[in-house]
Chains A and B, each alone.
Chain A
Amino acid sequence: MQAVNFIIQNILTEASITIALIAMVGLLLQKKTIGQVINGTLKTLLGFQVVAAGSTIIVQALTYFGTIFTEGFNMNGIIPSIEAINGQAMNEIGLGSEIALTFLAIFIVNLLIARFTKWKYIFLTGQANLWMATMCSVFGYFAGLRGVTLVIVGGIVGGVFAVGMPAIAQPIVRKITNSNDIALGHFCTIGYMFTAGIAKITGDITTSTEELNLPKSLEFLQDTYLSLMVVMVPLYLITAFFAGPECSYQFAGDSHYLMYAFLQSIQFVVGVYVLLSGVRLLLGEIVPAFRGIATKIVPNAIPALDCPVLFPYAPNAVIVGFVSTTIGTVIAMFVLPMFGLAMILPGILTNFFAGGTAGIFGNAVGGRRGAIISGIAHGFFITLLPALLVTIFNTLGFVNATATDVDTVVAALFYTWFITPIMNLFS
């Protein structure tokens, strides 16, 4: 019994160990060699610690930004970054183990649903699953769930999304790819379906974005970290300018306050870069293991993959969707505070990936005009939903961040509106 207690208290509460053990079991189940098992387990452990390091960098850059934004514009400016939410939840809030186990539970529920129903989708976008596990853990915790219940409820909610989202998007994905080989596994799907709906009403299917001649200069935006910098640098500089030198002094010391702001904006991108490199190490062993298991258990499984797999099918639509979604998020940034909601700054990563995919959906259903109009509506939509969550994030102690991956936001709202009231009945 003592040994069991030791394991529970000292090992399973240490998130990096939990997730490394999950990877190890996966590798052993696949009958890998000892060398491969050790290699994969250690890489997973390393990946987790790299995520933590990235998170520390992001939090630092965000804390500074939060301070100057409040001083400069007299209101709270929230940066949407699911990476920042994940990093903070794992480290500062201490939900790392819960997230790791929920992540595993989502995989298992996904497998079970795919095995026993006609929806054969296997969700293979590891980082999206990790974000979903994060939101389920954070909001489950907020609802009062703890321990095993928190993990099981998270697994069920996340697992239903993991099969349901690819399933509802599939009719349009089939239209885009002309095949049924791949599905879309990206937790922004409710936004895409919303976009497709608007495009259907406003669009004109006879024209296509792919006939447009877009300026080549926009193509650098496909380089994630570069486009992140292009937005963060002016955002930090303008904010620091309005906040003035005195406000920055506590951070910058004797260096020039605008120079400091410039370097901090790069520092934010560094944080995202480090964190995502950690995620890459973390998932490198787990995702192939899951894929191997899934293809054995689920005959005719359809892999649900990350959204850029659709980008080569309509590259112009990606740019159109990105630009129109960004316009929508900028409009929402100014409009939402008028209704007493938080000011959410445009989140460049979601704008590119989700916006780009929304553009493809809009174009597939409503042509050029549909893609543009629905893209703007999409930007508004993905800013409105997270604005509803900001108070809860603040109560839980998150620093200036929210998430714009709408499916995870909908899962979070489900927790807030249904599970929390039910939990309150029993307490």
Chain B
Amino acid sequence: MIRFLLKGILRDRGRSLFPLLVVTAGVFLTVAFYGYILGMMNNMIRSNANLRHGHVKVMTRAYAQDIAQVPNELALTGVAALSDELRTSYPDLDWVARIPFGGLLDVPDDEGETRIQAPVAGLAVDLRTSGGPEPGLLGLAKILVRGRMPRVPGELLMSDELARKLGLDIGGKATLITTTMAGSLAMANFTVAGTIRFGIRAMDRTGLIADLADLRRALDMDDAAGEVLGLFKDGIYRSDRAAAVLRSFEGRYAGRQGEFLPAMQTLAEQPGMDIIIGRMRYATSAIVFIFLLAMSLVMWNAGLVGTLRRYGEFGLRLAIGEAKGHVYRTMLAESLLIGVLGSTAGTVLGLSLSWYLQVHGIDVSSIMKNITFLMDTVLHSKITPLSFVIGFIPGLLASLIGTAIAGRTIYKRQTARLFKELES
């Protein structure tokens, strides 16, 4: 019977192709959309991780308690040895040292007197080590508006908005006033090598990116850093893996006292990110549910229409003596087969696209040339175990339910009137 129905579906394309295409397309879109939504969420997490949080972050216990204040006087020391240890113990992560800092930028006039001052919030990263990961992690080349990357000591990148506000051009000089690791006043001269657009309001008002070595010298932080970030090499945040790294790392220092011992936090534990990730998951679930509902309605409708289109065929089959129950059951079986075939095809196609986007991504930077802010211009997807069933089950059930509802009309047909209906 199934073989007979399958042959009918494959050979009589007039009756099966449309429902099959609808189910395939619906399931494909569902799987691909789900993967893309997860990928987009991952992109947002990736941007936050690369810029500020890492997938895991190492700092001192005291620093972790006051992290919102960026207390560099509580920074990590012996960072070179710590980084080596982290690279050896957790080779699947890249480890980078960073110094977030705040202060005042003082721009001199021709006489060297203060012309204008503005509060700044900056990030010191390793910009000058050849082949280092930082420029790529921060996507600095993409967000450069004017000038170039820093090449020599004393050069920095500044938010374009801030540079314009301060009247600073490329090559302009300013003095950063901040505090050293010991809490003393620190003053250091910098030259603007380039301007950038972060695309984040607060950072565009006050943001600076300076070289780590320059800030270490200015802040008296030799071999010290506020934070050491760990980022999984494929750029994807995995909460279970991050939690495993955290457990392993904290195990080394368990039972030891000292506020300057290293402490680790995962991305999801860091202030602000816990809320963002929770809200993003909630929003993602809501979006996926609404999309799934819409696609189910489409597939259900396809089942309904497909059955109604075959009104005449069922009439003929009833007229030549086929039992109503048999017609109904074969319809359901056909629908089930179409659901299985369409859902399988849709899931395979959807997963294929998601896999391609997960591994390679699609670079849309060419159509976003004028957008110079901190945003990943490579679209990515993400495949999870749920990706395998999220389209398949609705694809199967929606068309089956649609057929089952539409098929009830078979039982309302009156045999005595069938020939009259067929004549018309």
Chains A and B are bound partners = no
